[in-house]
Amino acid sequence: MMMTYLYVVESVDFIFLMRLTGLTWGNLLSHLSTLEEAEYVNIEKKFVQKKSHTIVSLTEKGRQAFREYKQSLLQVLNDLPD
């Protein structure tokens, strides 16, 4: 689900993504860490008015992986009988 949200935007704020997915801070961080290790997401941390601000975006590798997943899923759905 998270990859789907990230696929349709250039980047997203961590808090917005947390609210969108309904995940807790720790769960979201865990999922994003796994995606970051796979080089599917880029996590950029900076300070805005002395407050930490985290931006998440898909890497090109992540976008390609999602495109391949989407094609596989479409093929499975198309192969289902009516």
pLDDT at 79: 93
CATH of the domain at 8: 1.10.10.10
Range of the domain at 59: 2-79
User: pLDDT tens for residues 10-47?
Assistant: 999 999 999 999 999 999 999 999 999 999 999 999 88
Q: How many domains does the chain divide into?
A: 1
Whole-angstrom CA distances from 12 to 2, 28, 55, 56 are 11, 13, 6, 5
User: pLDDT tens for residues 68-79?
Assistant: 999 999 999 999
Q: pTM for this structure?
A: 0.85
Q: Is 34 helix (H, G, I), strand (E, B) or coil?
A: helix
